[in-house]
Amino acid sequence: MGKLALKGGQKLYNDISKDFNHPQISDEYISSLNDKKTRSQISSFDGEGLINSVQDQFKSKFGVKYALAMNSGTSALFSMFYAHGLGLNDEVIVPAYTFFATATPLFILGCTPILADALDNGNIDPKDIRKKITSKTKAIVITHMWGIPCDMDEIMQIGEEYNLPILEDTSHAHGALYNGRVAGTFGSASAWSLGAKKLITGGQGGMMGTNNLNVYQKAILVGQANNKIIKEITNSYLLPYSITGTGLNLRMHPFSAALIQEQIIDFDKQLLQRREVAKYLTNEILKMSGLSLPRIPNDSDPSWYAFPILYDPNNFKGISKQLFVKALNAEGAIDFDIPNSTCPLTEFASFRNTKVSFDQEIQKEVFTNGQLKGAERFHHRLFKLPTWYGPRRMEYAKAHIEALKKVIDNLDELI
C-alpha cells in the first residue's frame, strides 16, 4: 500500500467518513415540526403533548412501565438516585470506568461513591462489587459501557443477596440485549442519556425508567412542574409536597421530545445497521495479529454505541497507541478515536480529593491511581470506531479496515 501518509506518503482516503452525520433526521420531518400545534408547545408544565407522547413511545420500545422525560442523562441519574433515598454518608458502589456523570450526581446528595474495578471488557467487575460492600452500602450502580451489557446474572444475584437496589446507567446501551432482555429493565430503575451523539438523541435530553410506581413518583417530585406532580402523585405520603416538589426544573423541552420521537420510530433500522457494521469489523479485526476486542457476555447483543478495540504496544514494536491512531487518522480514516473524558474516575480531581470541590469525606484508599488495575488497563489499551449506519456504512467500515492494514504493514516507519 506504499509509504505511510504520516511519513509523507499518499493517504488512502480523503477523510472518507466526514459526511457521516448522526442523528439522521430528514429535512421533511424538520419541516413538519414547523406547524402551529408543535410551535405552541414552547414549554410543558403538565407533561402532556409531545412529552407524554415520547414517554409512551419509550415505555413501549424499551419495556419499562413508567418513563420520565428529563433534560439530560445526568438529571435522569440524579432523579433516580434521589428516588431511591440515597443521601448523606451513604456509600454507593459505582463503576471505576465510566463517564463521570454516572457518579457525580451522588456528590450533590452527599453520598460517597465507592469505585469497583472493571473487567477486561470495561464493564464493572461483579467480584469487586462484592469486595466493596459494607454496612454503609445503599445501592449498586452499573454502566453498560460502549453498549456492551454487563454480566447481569451475577450482578442481580449480588443485589438480591445483600438487598441492594441495582441502578442502571443505560446511556450507551439503547436497545442492547442480555439473554433476550433489554438493558435498562433489570434493576430497580435505569437512566438513559438522550443527548449529544447518543443512539437516540434530542440534542439535550434524558429518560428515567422504572417498573416501581413509588420510585417513579419520587422522581417526579425532583424536577417536574406542579401541574404534572398534582396529576400523577397518588402516594398519600408524597401528596403534601405535590405543589413544590424539590423546586428544581429538570424537564425535557418539547422540541427535544419531537426529535426523539422520529428516531424511536426508525431505531430498529439504525440498530440493525450498526450491528451489521460491528459484525464486519469484528470479523476483520480478529484476523489481525496484535489487536483484540472486548469480551461480549454470552447470549448478549450489544447496541454498539461505539466499537471498542484493544491495543497492546508490546504487540506493535513498542509503538504507542497515540502514535498508532495518529497514523490511522493521517490515512484519512478520521473516525479512529481515543476517548478522553471517558476514563477511570481516578483521573479526575473530584474523585481523588473531593475535599477540594465538595464538603465531604471520601475514602482515600479507594480514590487512588494504581489501585483499579482493570479499569486503568482497559482505558490505556482502548481506542474506538463509530458503528456507522446509512447507505454508505459499509464503505466507511471497509475504508477504516484498509487503513488498519496499511499501518500494521508499515509499522517500521513509526519506530
Interval 1-28: pLDDT, tens: 689 999 999 999 998 899 999 998 888 8
pLDDT band of 224, cuts 50, 70, 90: confident
Give yes or no: residues 138 and 250 share one domain: yes
Dist. CA 208–CA 299, nearest whole Å: 26
* Contact of 134 with 152, CB cutoff 8 Å: no
- The total of other beta-carbon atoms located within 10 Å of residue 157's CB is 12
Dist. CA 381–CA 223, nearest whole Å: 39
Give yes or no: residues 11 and 33 share one domain: no
Give yes or no: residues 255 and 368 share one domain: no
Q: Is the pLDDT of residue 65 over 90?
A: yes
Give yes or no: residues 257 and 273 share one domain: no
Phi, psi torsion values for 69, nearest 5 degrees: -75, 130
Predicted pLDDT at 283: 98
The C-alpha cell at 35 is 406547524
CA angle 371, 375, 380 (to 5 degrees): 105
Q: Is the pLDDT of residue 35 over 80?
A: no
Give yes or no: residues 113 and 81 share one domain: yes
* Contact of 171 with 195, CB cutoff 8 Å: no
Q: Is the pLDDT of residue 369 over 60?
A: no
Q: Is the pLDDT of residue 367 over 60?
A: no
* Contact of 311 with 68, CB cutoff 8 Å: no
- The total of other beta-carbon atoms located within 10 Å of residue 398's CB is 15
Q: Is the pLDDT of residue 173 over 70?
A: yes
Q: Is the pLDDT of residue 374 over 80?
A: yes
pLDDT band of 241, cuts 50, 70, 90: confident
Q: Is the pLDDT of residue 359 over 60?
A: no
Quote the mean pLDDT of the chain. Answer: 92
Give yes or no: residues 31 and 13 share one domain: no
Last residue of a domain, one of 232, 265, 298: 265
* Contact of 259 with 253, CB cutoff 8 Å: no
* Contact of 115 with 366, CB cutoff 8 Å: yes
Give yes or no: residues 40 and 162 share one domain: yes
Q: Is the pLDDT of residue 365 over 60?
A: no
Last residue of a domain, one of 206, 236, 265: 265
Last residue of a domain, one of 237, 265, 293: 265
- The total of other beta-carbon atoms located within 10 Å of residue 7's CB is 11
Give yes or no: residues 115 and 259 share one domain: yes
Helix/strand/coil for 367: coil
Q: Is the pLDDT of residue 349 over 60?
A: yes
Of 78-92, 362-376, 384-398, give the lowest mean pLDDT range: 362-376
**What domain range includes position 190?**
27-265
Mean pLDDT score, 358-366: 48
Q: Is the pLDDT of residue 351 over 90?
A: no
pLDDT band of 366, cuts 50, 70, 90: very low
Predicted pLDDT at 353: 63
Q: Is the peptide bond before 126 cis (omega within 30 degrees of 0)?
A: no
Task: Count how many domains the chain has.
Answer: 2
Give yes or no: residues 362 and 227 share one domain: no
Interval 289-341: pLDDT, tens: 999 999 999 999 999 999 999 999 999 999 999 999 999 999 999 999 999 88
pLDDT band of 356, cuts 50, 70, 90: very low
Q: Is 130 exposed, middle or buried (0-12, 13-18, 19+ CB in 10 A)?
A: middle
Listed residue (335, 338, 304) closest to 397, CA to CA: 335
pLDDT band of 364, cuts 50, 70, 90: very low
Residue 75: CATH number of its domain = 3.40.640.10
Give yes or no: residues 399 and 277 share one domain: yes
* DSSP secondary structure, 228-239, as one string: HHHHH---TTTG
Give yes or no: residues 181 and 164 share one domain: yes
Residue 389: CATH number of its domain = 3.90.1150.10
* Contact of 174 with 52, CB cutoff 8 Å: no
Predicted pLDDT at 27: 82
Give yes or no: residues 167 and 245 share one domain: yes
Predicted pLDDT at 361: 53
Which residue has better confidence, 141 or 232?
141
